[in-house]
């Protein structure tokens, strides 16, 4: 009893609605498609700790230098890092990947930074990378940055990472807890 017309209607009418409204509505997320918690550990080069250092100041304002953070608030200091990622808060736990990228201090009147980096995994659990970018007002207990993409197991992913400072010692060591919440997951068939 289905005529050709009604068949068309059946098959394609909803596509019309969909294609029209496709991006006029707001995506609603109830829960992440994937969640993970990691720690990473940053030891800044201070002129005397080359062997242990995992990061180094590579840019600084005119009033700064590359072995001591600039004053006040480290404003303008840019740091490149190659930090171990661990599953717990112990610097000496076996690293399961590297956090590699940069951050710089970008506020004159308090400590705040901006991050552009990747988590790089090549182990039995995860192979691939997660790419992050965003603003990190590090005096706040928690703060969110963006997961802007990924590769391998994290192909095309997007989400949020909630950072918290788990520990710090002066301006030479800090440990960040990273709660990764992916809301857009992709699979390459």
Q: What residues pair up with 147 in beta bridges, in sequence order?
A: 132, 159
Least distance in angstroms from the C-beta of 93 to a second copy: 19
101 CB-contact burial (10 Å; exposed 0-12 / middle 13-18 / buried 19+): buried
In this complex, which beta carbon is closest to a second copy, that of residue 33 or of residue 172? 33
**CB of 172 vs a second copy, minimal distance in Å:** 14
Instruction: State which residue, 82 or 166, has the beta carbon closest to a second copy.
Output: 82
**Cis link prior to 72 (omega < 30° from 0)?**
yes
Distance in Å, CB of 149 to a second copy, minimum: 3
Smallest separation (angstroms) from a second copy to the CB of 87: 20
47-70: buried (b, 16+ CB within 10 Å) or exposed (e) per residue?
A: eeeeeebbbbbeebeeebebeebb
**Cα–Cα distance measured from residue 74 to residue 63, given in angstroms and rounded to the nearest whole number:** 10
Q: Which is nearer to a second copy, 66 or 177 (CB)?
A: 66
Q: Nearest distance from residue 141's CB to a second copy, in Å? A: 15
The residue whose two tokens read 């800090």 is: 174
> CA 157 to CA 39: how far, in whole Å?
20
User: For residue 93, what are the contacts with CB-CB under 8 A and spacing of at least 6?
Assistant: 86, 87
Residue among 6 and 123 whose Cβ is closer to a second copy: 6
Residue 93, Cα to own-chain centre: how many angstroms? 21
Query: Nearest distance from residue 175's CB to a second copy, in Å?
Result: 19
């Amino acid at each position: 009893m289905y005529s050709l017309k009604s068949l068309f209607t059946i098959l394609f009418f909803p596509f019309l609605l969909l294609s029209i409204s496709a991006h006029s509505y707001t995506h609603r997320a109830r829960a992440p498609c994937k969640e993970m918690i990691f720690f990473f550990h940053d030891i800044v080069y201070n002129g005397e700790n080359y062997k242990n250092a995992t990061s180094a100041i590579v840019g600084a304002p005119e009033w700064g230098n590359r072995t001591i953070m600039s004053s006040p608030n480290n404003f303008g200091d840019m740091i490149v890092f190659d930090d171990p990622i661990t599953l717990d808060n112990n610097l000496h736990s076996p690293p399961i990947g590297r956090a590699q990228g940069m951050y710089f201090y970008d506020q004159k009147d308090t400590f705040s930074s901006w991050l552009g980096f990747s988590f790089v995994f090549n182990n039995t659990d995860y192979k691939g990378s997660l790419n992050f970018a965003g603003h990190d007002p590090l005096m706040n207990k928690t703060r969110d940055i963006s997961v802007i993409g990924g590769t391998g197991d994290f192909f095309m992913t997007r989400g949020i990472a909630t950072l918290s400072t788990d520990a710090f010692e002066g301006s030479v060591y800090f440990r960040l807890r990273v709660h990764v919440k992916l809301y857009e997951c992709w699979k390459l068939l």
